Amino acid sequence: MNMYPVIAVIVIIVLIILLSSIKILREYDRGVVFLFGRFQAVKGPGIIILIPVMQQMVRVDLRTMVVEVPPQDVISRDNVPVKVNAMILYRVIDPEKAVIQVEDAREATSQLAQTTLRSVLGRHELDEMLSEREKLNADIQGILDQHTDAWGIKVSNVEIKQVDLEESMYRAISRQAEAERQRRAKIINAEGELQASEKLMQAAQTLVEQPQSIQLRYLQTLVEVAGEKTSTIVFPLPLDLLEPLLGKLKKSAAETPPAP
């Protein structure tokens, strides 16, 4: 009986088993090795040789992963319905926990991010969602990082990408912004009027205390009017300017003897 075919088959089977026991892990991969179902070690990168049947390996990627959080319906604290989506960046820092403590690290992180997003944003008003995104991102990241630490996962960044409102809310916000701009314009105008009235009151007080300044003001006004292209100028002459001249005329008239 020819045994060469049988030997050849056995050799091929052995080679296949040996080749299947050799694993090559890249620089960003780690292998969580189990011996008879019990955790043994975390190995890699490089060549890993496993004992067939006795050892099994789960490959874990250590690179930063991106999780897109689908749009979530959120009711803000001031009862405004919005749709919010976000992006989560995380990476595995403990391969053993990422394999043993959670079934699917990526799916678990995504689900936790959705519930955390709704919970955190629901405690804030719409204006805070639109103007304080950095603070909200930090709050969500802190909560996620605290929960995923038991899974050997580090959440490195959270970004709220978009806050969508209904069309009616956009119109309401536009009207509110326009009303706010008008309010500020009226306040600025009122403050300007108040400052101008205070300056005018100070000027009037100065003119009352120093009558000579009134004459200087009249002369300045005459200079300004003279520069305009007008044919006739009617300008009231204050009596204060004539009082010295009238006084001299009265004095000279009193000193002059009557004609014979």
**Cis bond upstream, residue 71 (ω within 30):** no
pLDDT score recorded for residue 101: 93
Residue with tokens 């991010």: 113
| DSSP label at residue 87 | E
Structural domain spans, the chain: 8-60, 65-170
Q: How far apart are CA 147 and CA 151, in angstroms?
A: 8
pLDDT score recorded for residue 250: 62
Q: Which residues, 6+ apart, have CB-to-CB distance to 154 below 8 Å?
A: 90, 91, 92, 93, 145, 148
Taking the CA atoms of residue 188, residue 190, residue 196 and residue 200 in that order, the dihedral angle to the nearest 10 degrees is: -170
Name the CATH superfamily housing domain 65-170.
Answer: Band 7 domain (3.30.479.30)
The residues that bridge with 68 in the sheet, in sequence order, are 87
pLDDT for 69-95, tens place per residue?
A: 999 888 888 888 888 999 999 999 999
pLDDT score recorded for residue 77: 87
- Are 78 and 126 a contacting pair, CB within 8 Å? yes
pLDDT score recorded for residue 10: 80
pLDDT score recorded for residue 26: 92
pLDDT for 142-170, tens place per residue?
A: 999 999 999 999 999 999 988 887 766 66
pLDDT score recorded for residue 90: 95
Q: What are phi and psi of 126, to 5 degrees?
A: -60, -40
The mean pLDDT values, 10 residues at a time, for the chain of 260 residues are 73 79 91 93 90 89 92 86 91 94 91 92 86 90 92 93 75 72 85 83 72 64 63 58 59 58
- Are 34 and 10 a contacting pair, CB within 8 Å? no
pLDDT score recorded for residue 81: 86
- Are 22 and 4 a contacting pair, CB within 8 Å? no
Which ranges of the chain would DSSP assign to H, the alpha helix?
4-21, 95-100, 105-121, 126-131, 133-148, 167-209, 212-226, 239-255
Q: Which residues, 6+ apart, have CB-to-CB distance to 112 below 8 Å?
A: 144, 147, 148
| DSSP label at residue 62 | -
